[in-house]
Amino acid sequence: MRDTPQDPKFCSPEFWQRRLREDNNFEQAVQKIDWNIVNFNQKEILNNICFGKVFDAGCGFGRICQLLGDQVTDYVGMDITPEFIAEAQKRFPDKKFILGDIRDTGFNDKVFDWGIAIGMADSIYWPEMEKELKRICKRIIILWCEKPKEYKII
């Protein structure tokens, strides 16, 4: 049985390191979802909404930065898993990726125009993450991989 977002371990580096070992590599680890459908729908949503300086909370291996349009002038992704950040930097060397905890980013207040949270709202840590995102971002868009056409703006 796989861990769930409600499991406290879900947001830990150890969880994702174990998941990557079990699934052998990044490609197999993300094969659980039809990314073509998710990318198509999320690209349409993000291109119509996000602009300026964008913070990608829990960026994983950086998939979202390739979905953003030219209206996004600056992109910063943060994740707690070192392997994800290393892979993101390898895949997208022109983007900024930071190893860190979304609950305490260290950024100044309202420094980002948009915060993107995909798959984060189901975490037991979401209240803490949401509070920090509201502090550092002017607006936040929440999306779900399992429901790629749905989103919420806060």
Single-letter amino acid, residue 19:
R
Write the CA distances from 37 to 16, 40, 116, 118, 126, integer angstroms.
Answer: 23, 5, 18, 15, 25
* pLDDT value at residue 51: 92
Q: Does 37 or 91 have the greater pLDDT score?
A: 91
Homologous superfamily of 33-153 in CATH? Vaccinia Virus protein VP39 (3.40.50.150)
60, HSE (Cβ side, Cα atoms, 13 Å): 17
Q: Does 111 or 13 have the greater pLDDT score?
A: 111
* pLDDT value at residue 24: 58
Banded model confidence at residue 23, pLDDT cuts 50, 70, 90 = low
- Contact residues for 34 (Cβ-Cβ < 8 A; gap 6+): none
pLDDT above 60 (res 99): yes
Tell me the pTM: 0.79
Determine whether 60 is exposed, middle or buried from the number of CB atoms within 10 Å of its CB (0-12, 13-18, 19+): buried
Alpha carbons 57 and 120: distance in angstroms, whole number: 8
